[in-house]
Structure 1
């Protein structure tokens, strides 16, 4: 039985199963279905959070506690020197102290909700001490401060300003296409894929474009398959005034990709520049600003590092800051920067997501959006009334000195107050598309300008620093092409287009490549020509030309597949979904193909090896022929593959949580969690959905209590 566990009693109760439940959270139950999805029913709002905390601990307890320990900036204290870099970054940026402040700034109801979620985790661990790894149990007990602190770390110091991303901008790399489209790798966090190859997909289609005359919504986030703080979790929560189904990232107490009976929303990583790196000019014990020398502010900080013998070593450091923010020395003596992050005065990210899920119509949903507490992410919305929205959402600094995206994504002069921003843009300022003439909105991590077709937004109407739109990924172009036109989509069409594996790059570039080969007498080139000419361009398990084309494409457009120098016609916004195209140097392209033949044969044993023999869907003991590929090939069914090991490769990032909804009566809702809904060792739900991934099938999402009880695996009450 679930109980509320007070922090003060934790050490006394570890290892003991609590005997009675506290009534503090109002009571409720969790019905687990046969795919390991928790359906939480509670008599109070806080009880819904309590049950959600219990459920997450049950399914993902080890990674849950690991990420909370890291977000406390105590990872090195718990697990040793490997976590020291992240601890120092979070402490230098005041994340632990701000977590306490942010908790105090929550409404009394949200404070209760956060404490309830933490209590649910604590209670599960107390009732099941052997289910949690010993090295993770030391993080317990949790409190509501830990929950808001983790959300703060994830949003502001992973998605917005991870150490790697900040240092890359300071090194002159800017936020580049890949960094802008993907959450930056956190120090000690998960490794993300090559530029633009991952990310997320989202569609919302208006009734006028559907056969049934009903609104359609696709939620399709990606990110890593290996368990981490970016792992998705599927759940249903039903409490007074709050009833949602969807997915969220483990550790968050609210559902980020959600739908209810009347509306739904999803997110994709966008290009909002929510931080600025300022280059300081130092002078003695200060820095120059507007021709004067200002003194640093210096504070002593510290953290502990667990040694190999179990003892703790205290590391002390002096953290300097300027009027811009905390200061950091660049590697190799290349100077000193100050970091300014937007949104540190806005503690309501979890409240906004909760209110979005509670909304029952467009007016209520927009009211939640206008609070502008979520610091980044495109938001795509659909509702039963037929409305759809694309919003380039985020907390965006307002730069009075102007300039474009590239200027503000690199090092910015910090010696003048002209560059020091003090305000952010309002909701009304942000690019958005509502109920467009084309009847749909979409996003695949690109900027806002082609969020619908025909285009509805003009970059000239917005500051140049809003977004980097120097190009458009082929995946985003494929997303538009799958929806554009006047035809009406049936439910079958909607689901079928979601799983297409066609590489737009192949469709666009193979014809001129075949023409360039012509009657070249080289037998290898003629064999490659026949192979490519007979291929549909689909990345299916049986495809025999897919590996060759992938190899050639990386030589042609770079390993990240973002290079455009070898195309005859570059990308332009006026020709957004048909460019780049053509071969600038046909002879060179043919020579590259010759090299690709040799490289493909060496890597895979044959130039025409079936794609699924090499690319395998692997989770736990599952190992099935794979399909899908790199988004920058123009593939909507994204899968980023690992390096070869023993002749095979497996998913690193790509298809994770998918849900598709039709707002009819009754509602249609299907979905899938590719790697399963649990990561705890021994769970039978760690790979049970993999065969459906391989077969391009989806589960009916059981939403009514009768459906859940007909597919019940376990019931827990609290």
Structure 2
């Protein structure tokens, strides 16, 4: 199957596009000053440990190793961010995320203009440019070697080509807008004045798909993190559990690696495709991870239009013309020839116009403009570069304060001195409570912030201390340093540690008094239990993920089982079948869990849409324990419960879920014709090991996202001691020996030691080493 065929089947994480730009003569000259070289040592599961004398050499090794493992994946991402999907695969085919190619191309052509890409590149410090240039050279070398042998079936075609540095810039800019305007690609690409709406707005199904993707975004890009300090850890030093939940396919799929420049940098962890840096990892004295935050990274502006012309808007009483940017994409036509499709993207001083039928309509009175703070964030690579080089927790924290380049995630970290740190220092629009009161419509709520675009006073405030115009300064954002613990599972900053609630922030930053997610409640519950048993040990943190406990079951199962004993009616037979399965279920999402798990998911999916079903409603004074219980003593709730049970039995019958099936027979990860059973389940049920799967063939469910890179890091007097796993394995190439090995280990719940020191690396029984140097035709096998 070709990669274009795979895209329509699975879908790739959203991306950015732009014109294909070659390197300038200056970049070429800069790159050839010194020939890059790197040593790539691989240990168990093919994990690369890349060592070089400088940044260009390090990037060279990263790009080469990554291409060995994921050449087709990155080549496909490059097509996406360069707005060329319609040209090569056809306009009506879809990306992995099920976005129509034409809409994707128009969006990314708008995003990655030559000016934007060049400006981002010029803003990078020399070491970062050298990392990127080295990465490009290393990838291109691996590509040439693979082309000589024959490319994998997934990426045979003219669309596979050598990279330029600007390709990696475009990939980075895609990453930046994932939590903002990237969620509105169809709304931006299809926005047209009222007279043109009928023919240009696109089918309703396009926006239905976009709405589904927005709902899945939080599920597919969640995370858990626990940072344990000296007061709670087994040895008085810091302990970190990193459990990011990210897609298992496409452009947000983590890659595991270890990077070393002797005397300057030594860091191990995981990175997203195309990034020559570690995003989540550990070094000699500290370890850190990220969780997707709840902060707002964009705002909408409602424009009041000029009654005489819907392409003009009123600002402070004056009529102002909208800006117009023509974007063009090449499209493969039915006869195989390539044509061009152009579209005008309209904008205001706040940002592009977005049009979403039924939600954000562009009529003769109003239109909506979107301002994304991360469009101006050119500091993201410098941010992770500084974090990778940090030698202490203070150095780490100071770098985040100074640079403010983290786009849309929280940061949790520990050090070998026993400190635990939480920071929500991402890029957040500077809109305070007073401005919200003056400039927003309270009827719109706080899910989407909609400001008044007819008054210039409603623009974002400017703080001279902030690293970027219009965002909050670091000292105005939530952060907490403690010696017991901090934790986050994609909730606001409010309950990072209940002993010290964080409150009083603008709703764009953090909101208090809202129900906690079930994963956070589970974490706090477990920490409370562990406090009674003694210090926290490594096995305790690992069990939180690997025990696959369904926390919601603890809150409602007694009531479900009581509902089973209620007076029988016409639904008695169907309800009885569900009740037998529920009673036999072990209340986990383990491989051996029976059909009770399936019934529980299906029953709760229906009941969670019924907000008045709780016996004990949410109490902001007790967020750790409320809401809970099903109010089956109320007739409507009992009726709804039994109807959900009966419906679940019918659904199980239709999908072939028999009484003898186990979860390992249903949820799988496929690679190269092999299927690996995967434990875990939906995070909204309070399963810490959050796994999202979708219906596949033969009644199976195929994993698409969830637990990805796992690490538990502790310290002793010699440095870090880490265990971990990359749940979907290093390589996305089904023919690679590293495409399913860690997946199988994850299925067996077997963590591995992550070798960090030279002694550990060379002692690994799977050790192999390769030296690559620019200009040399062949790589050289290194000896110990």
TM category (shorter chain) comes to 0.7 to 0.9
1:476-555 aligned at under 5 Å gives the runs 476-484=520-528, 486=531, 487-518=534-565, 520-521=567-568, 522=572, 525=575, 528-529=578-579, 531-544=581-594, 545-555=596-606
1:694 aligned to 747, 757, 768, which one? 747
> 1:256 deviation in Å?
0.3
Residue 301 (structure 2) pairs with residue 278 (structure 1): yes
1:462 aligned to 481, 502, 505, which one? 505
* CA distance 1:407–1:32, shift in 2 (3 Å): same
Cα RMSD between the aligned structures? Answer: 3.1
**Conserved in 2, the CA contact under 8 Å of 1:551 and 1:600?**
no
| Partner Cα distance (2:740, 2:756) in 1 | 22
In the alignment, what sits opposite 2:180? Answer: 160
Which deviates more, 26-35 or 376-385? 26-35
In the alignment, what sits opposite 1:715? Answer: 770
> 1:195 deviation in Å?
5.7
In the alignment, what sits opposite 1:146? Answer: 167
1:212-246 Cα shifts (integer Å, max 9, x gaps): 22211111112222x30011100011114111110
| Partner Cα distance (2:526, 2:318) in 1 | 57
Q: TM-score scaled by structure 1?
A: 0.87
| Partner Cα distance (2:221, 2:128) in 1 | 33
> 1:207 deviation in Å?
2.1
| Partner Cα distance (2:391, 2:562) in 1 | 56
Which deviates more, 61-70 or 519-528? 519-528
Secondary structure of 1:676's aligned partner? coil
Residue 436 (structure 2) pairs with residue 402 (structure 1): yes
In the alignment, what sits opposite 1:357? Answer: 388
* CA distance 1:678–1:393, shift in 2 (3 Å): same
- Return 5+ residue gaps in structure 2 as ranges: 1-20, 26-30, 94-100, 192-206, 462-469, 774-784
2:496 aligned to 451, 454, 462, which one? 451
**Conserved in 2, the CA contact under 8 Å of 1:202 and 1:219?**
yes
Residue 707 (structure 2) pairs with residue 668 (structure 1): no
In the alignment, what sits opposite 2:60? Answer: 50
Residue 516 (structure 2) pairs with residue 472 (structure 1): yes
In the alignment, what sits opposite 1:229? Answer: 251
1:649-669 Cα shifts (integer Å, max 9, x gaps): 221221221111112245321
Residue 328 (structure 2) pairs with residue 302 (structure 1): yes
**Conserved in 2, the CA contact under 8 Å of 1:7 and 1:141?**
no
1:358-408 Cα shifts (integer Å, max 9, x gaps): 101122101211111122101111111111111123111112512489347
Q: TM-score scaled by structure 2?
A: 0.80
In the alignment, what sits opposite 1:685? Answer: 738
1:429-477 Cα shifts (integer Å, max 9, x gaps): 11122115xx1111111111122233x2243x21233235533221221
Residue 73 (structure 2) pairs with residue 63 (structure 1): yes
| Partner Cα distance (2:712, 2:230) in 1 | 15
* CA distance 1:327–1:492, shift in 2 (3 Å): closer
1:158-186 Cα shifts (integer Å, max 9, x gaps): 23221437849x99xxxxxxxxxxxx999
**Conserved in 2, the CA contact under 8 Å of 1:278 and 1:411?**
yes
Which deviates more, 477-486 or 256-265? 477-486
> 1:310 deviation in Å?
5.0
| Partner Cα distance (2:105, 2:121) in 1 | 20
| Partner Cα distance (2:232, 2:732) in 1 | 39
Secondary structure of 1:211's aligned partner? coil
* CA distance 1:565–1:95, shift in 2 (3 Å): farther
> 1:317 deviation in Å?
3.0
> 1:91 deviation in Å?
2.8
Residue 234 (structure 2) pairs with residue 211 (structure 1): yes
1:604-654 Cα shifts (integer Å, max 9, x gaps): 443563222222343333324432111111111111222153122221221
> 1:102 deviation in Å?
0.9
1:327-338 aligned at under 5 Å gives the runs 327-331=353-357, 334-335=362-363, 336-338=367-369
In the alignment, what sits opposite 2:777? Answer: none
Which deviates more, 327-336 or 81-90? 327-336
> 1:267 deviation in Å?
1.0
* CA distance 1:42–1:581, shift in 2 (3 Å): same
1:168-317 aligned at under 5 Å gives the runs 193=216, 196=219, 199-225=222-248, 227-240=249-262, 241-283=264-306, 284=309, 285-308=311-334, 311-317=337-343
Secondary structure of 1:646's aligned partner? helix
In the alignment, what sits opposite 2:8? Answer: none
**Conserved in 1, the CA contact under 8 Å of 2:515 and 2:618?**
yes
> 1:113 deviation in Å?
2.1
**Conserved in 1, the CA contact under 8 Å of 2:55 and 2:130?**
no
* CA distance 1:524–1:306, shift in 2 (3 Å): closer
**Conserved in 1, the CA contact under 8 Å of 2:683 and 2:690?**
yes
**Conserved in 2, the CA contact under 8 Å of 1:27 and 1:717?**
yes
* CA distance 1:80–1:637, shift in 2 (3 Å): same
| Partner Cα distance (1:194, 1:320) in 2 | 26
